[in-house]
Amino acid sequence: MQIVRTVQELREWTRADRYETNTIGIVPTMGALHAGHASLIRAAREECGCVVVSIFVNPTQFGPNEDFARYPRSFEADCELAKAAGASLIFAPSVEELYPDGAATFVEVEGLSNRLDGKSRPGHFRGVATVVAKLLIATEADLAFFGQKDAAQVAVLRRMVTDLRLPAKVVVCPIVREPDGLALSSRNAYLSEEERRRALVLSRAVRRVEALAASGERRASALIAAAHEVFAAKPAVRVDYVELVNWETLLPVETAAPGTLFAVAAFVGTTRLIDNTIVA
Ligand code: AMP
């Protein structure tokens, strides 16, 4: 497994590999890799001859009061995990490499970027779209793998890939959870033991909505109310949003249909966590 730091080196590798392996896949990450990331890398391995895993804590997707500086960083362990899961190449650029001095070009996916997480994190999806566009252009990837865990991000990136006519096909992989239901996240590392217990309320709310929808309840008002009821049992957890939306537009719907996105975000202490399900 190669480790490269510059776009030029990356292109040299992927261009050479393209002739040998046909399909280039990319798994964009911010490092602090866990089993959720590993599942994306394994999925990429199954479909691609060359799997690029990018590790880059992208400053432009963090707000001024967010956790950029203290975001967990564990490069050595990340390389081990990525290699074991089947990565061919790690792309770990510096901030200056992806944002050259004077960088002034950004990708704005209008409308979508202000919904769900974008509403509570202004500028977040602008940063995400910008960095992912840079990564897709640099790798000339055929397939790009993302987790359903960040479902609003998937909607933003699908729109971007379509609008920019990028050649990459977006592949979405299921949410990997702890045995007790908590969705794996690099930010789970911030939780104290007590907060870790409280954090289960997110997956409980998601499961409650899944069960209700499976039993035939399709009204958004009823599904959202049921989720709020679950959250009410843990008043120390501050709900950011509970929404039932069209997964393509991220606009609220009144009735759940197969493919509708039910998503929640909440603060457990100072840590903001998200979870979701796609209605069956
Ligand atoms: P991050 O490093 O948090 O930016 O995440 C990199 C990629 O891993 C994104 O596409 C995430 O959606 C995905 N991911 C993060 N957590 C999980 C999880 N628990 N299950 C599946 N994919 C995940």
Per-residue pLDDT of 78-103, as tens digits, reads 999 999 999 999 999 999 999 999 99
Tokens for 105? Answer: 């070009």
Task: Tell me what pLDDT residue 274 has.
Answer: 98
Rounded distance from Cα 272 to ligand 1 centre (Å)? 15
> Does the pLDDT of residue 20 top 90, yes or no?
no
CA 93, 94, 99, 102 torsion: positive or negative?
negative
Q: Pick left, alpha or beta for residue 111 (phi over 0 → left; psi -120 to 50 → alpha; otherwise beta).
A: left
Cα atoms in the Cβ-side hemisphere of radius 13 Å centred on 277? 24
pLDDT in tens, 220-278: 999 999 999 999 999 999 999 999 999 999 999 999 999 999 999 999 999 999 999 99
3-state secondary structure at position 4: strand
Higher-pLDDT residue of 22 and 148 is 148
Q: Please indicate whether residue 150, judged by its CB atom, sits closer than 6 Å to ligand 1.
A: yes
Binning pLDDT at 50, 70 and 90, where does residue 166 land?
very high
pLDDT in tens, 31-64: 999 999 999 999 999 999 999 999 999 999 999 9
Task: Tell me what pLDDT residue 109 has.
Answer: 98
Binning pLDDT at 50, 70 and 90, where does residue 21 land?
confident
Whole-prediction pTM value?
A: 0.98
pLDDT in tens, 171-204: 999 999 999 999 999 999 999 999 999 999 999 9
**34, 37, 124, 228: the active-site residue:** 37
Q: Please indicate whether residue 276, judged by its CB atom, sits closer than 6 Å to ligand 1.
A: no
34 carries an active-site annotation: no
